[in-house]
Amino acid sequence: MKLNFFVNEKDNLKASNNLLKFFIIIIGFMQVVNLIWNFYLVKNTRTIIIPAGIDTKFEVQSNKISEEGLKQYGRYIAFLAFNYSPFNVRSQFEELLKLYDPDSLPGAKTTFYSIAEDVEKANVTSAFYIQKMFAESSKIEILGTKKQYVSDTKLKDETETYIIEYTVKEGKFLIKKIYLKESK
């Protein structure tokens, strides 16, 4: 009779081990499903941004930004880069440089600091009025009128087109280059 007890206990342990193996397989399968689901969610997550003072929202996905978002960034960048006076030029350029791609930052820093120095020395004030804006996959084209004054004397009153080359990395808008488009 004691021999039967050990045989039954051995069968019970086998059944218990099989049950534990089954649950381990179920838990492993659930982990794989969870991993795939999390990857899908991270890849397709949208962030809706409503910056202060702006009444429209725009979307930013991993490396894409909506057209409305590009136009909002274009207006903001144009304001910082082309509207300045000797009193605020450095602070505006500092804020603009925060939007630059780290690879392009050294060249942009040199350019904007040089412009800031010239503006402060010559007492130049600039205003840029946007007329049209076109957004593409890696460029924003801004057409507008630029007016510059030295003290109270008008220095410039011309229509100019600026190109902003940009990239979106991990949901962050980064400027690569800003330049004046050559007129034909």
pLDDT digits (tens, 9 = 90+) for 12-66: 788 888 889 999 999 999 999 999 999 888 887 776 666 554 566 777 776 778 8
CB atoms within 10 A of CB 150: 13
Residues with Cβ within 8 Å of 71's Cβ and at least 6 positions away in sequence, in order, are 133, 135, 140
Residue 104, sorted as left (phi over 0), alpha (psi -120 to 50) or beta, turns out to be alpha
Distance CA(108)–CA(152), nearest Å, equals 29
Q: Residue 53: what are its φ and ψ, rounded to 5°?
A: 80, 0
Residue 49 pLDDT: 64
DSSP annotation of 84? B
Across the range 80-101, mean pLDDT stands at 93
- pTM over 0.95? The answer is no
What average pLDDT is seen over the chain? Answer: 86
Query: Which is nearest to 140 in space by CA: 123, 164, 157?
Result: 164
Residues with Cβ within 8 Å of 80's Cβ and at least 6 positions away in sequence, in order, are 92, 93, 95, 96
Q: Measuring CA to CA, how many Å separate 104 from each of 51, 94, 116, 135, 180?
A: 25, 14, 18, 21, 17
Query: Which range, of 13-17, 63-67, 79-83, 159-163, averages the lowest pLDDT?
Result: 63-67
- State the pLDDT confidence band at 116, using cuts at 50, 70 and 90: very high
Across the range 140-160, mean pLDDT stands at 91
